[in-house]
Amino acid sequence: MANLFRHSAGQITATLVRVLGPDRLELAEEAVSEAMLRALRVWPDEGVPDNPRGWLFRTARNRAIDELRREESLRGKLVLLDEPGTTEQTGDDAELALIFLCCHPGLPQVSQVALTLKTVGGLGVEEIAAALLSNPSTVAQRLVRAKRWLRADAVRIEVPPPDELPARVDSVLAVLYLLFNAGYDATTGENAIRHELCGEAIRLCSLVLADRRTDLPRARALLALMQLQASRLPARLNGSGDPLLLAEQDRSKWDQALIASGARNLAGAAQGSELSPYHVEAAIAVCHASARDEQSTDWLRIVSLYDQLLALRPSPVVELNRGIALAMADGPQAGIAILEGLANRGELANYVLLPSALGALRLRADDPARAAVHYREALELPCSEPTRRFLANQLAKCTR
């Protein structure tokens, strides 16, 4: 039932907002919430209806109609809301338009993510706070400010016109990738992975591709990347929920259907001359997915791809990942030199993966004393509880 509610929330809200207007986003959300609460009260006794999404839509629409009748200025919307075409079958177009509304570049990106999760993804404020490493009151304030901005600027709910579409798509893709990464490698809390965030990012990216106007090569490359990365999720944790290194993962648990789908989408994204960072990252993921084990991975190819990625999107995190790949290709000292240079620059001072990776490379170089220094440094930085246990175990290996 939770999945039904979550996947229905965005489409029903989008349909109502399309009629009521973005300035009544809160009314639409409240109507959908009321419908779901009513379902929780009624369905256990009366049974789940044959068309549960249709039931939810009609209940939310009736709730919105009741509210409109109380507001003189909005009574003109009643006819529109009662039109035969305004049904739960409105389709994905309204939900896609809602995604563009939530990811409007006039909003700060963190607010775009929060609004997308709340309005399209159906997540509660507590869940969003956990995903964004924030507290509920801060998230609630961001949502209020975002909705106030949408009202004040009279932003329309629509798929942008062709001249605006490329830049607006980039904004949407950036938000979806941020959402996926928040689930793939949670940095605080009790869970190292938030599967529901990864799944929601993939669902929303698929929605972007379902419309021919937004089925762009870079969008398809992002979907390929997320599918290839998500294929490893079943093997990324041990029985206690703690992270496993790539070499420790049971690759037989990798989801072959997701790998195949990701490879097909990457091939589809290769149409034309466009080469986005998502293309290159997906190609790196293919190198991992196609290797039998860590030793047979084409690390030199991965280093070359990271060089391309640095040219397209310079980033200290990309440099870090390239250094790790170089260590696999040329030995730990090659990677240590790059990672120590990054550490001296200070750009990743609060990024737990930098000292953690240095500790791993020092262990491979048979230098447990210096590895221990890096693991202790990592334990001082913010991280999830499973990651903290992982780092403590690695530190114990250094001191045996």
pLDDT for 230 equals 95
Return per-residue pLDDT of the chain as tens, 400 residues: 666 776 677 778 878 877 777 777 888 888 888 888 888 888 988 888 888 888 888 888 888 888 777 665 444 544 444 444 444 444 457 788 888 988 888 888 889 988 888 888 777 787 777 666 578 899 999 999 988 888 777 677 778 888 888 888 998 998 899 888 878 876 656 666 778 788 888 988 998 999 888 999 999 999 999 999 999 999 988 888 888 888 899 999 999 999 999 999 999 999 888 899 999 999 999 999 999 999 999 999 999 999 999 999 999 999 999 999 999 999 999 999 999 999 999 989 888 999 999 999 999 999 999 999 999 999 998 888 888 999 999 999 998 7
Q: Which of 324, 353, 358 is nearest to 340 (CA)?
A: 358
pLDDT for 251 equals 94
Q: How far apart are CA 164 and CA 30, in angstroms?
A: 31
Write down the residue that tokens 């004040």 correspond to: 152
Whole-model pTM: value is 0.80
CB-based burial label for 259 (10 Å; 0-12, 13-18, 19+) = buried
Question: Domains of the chain: which residue ranges?
Answer: 1-90
Please name the amino acid found at residue 30. Answer: E
pLDDT for 80 equals 46
φ, ψ for residue 234, nearest 5 deg: -65, -20
Q: Which residues pair with 237 in a beta bridge?
A: 243
pLDDT for 78 equals 45
pLDDT for 188 equals 59
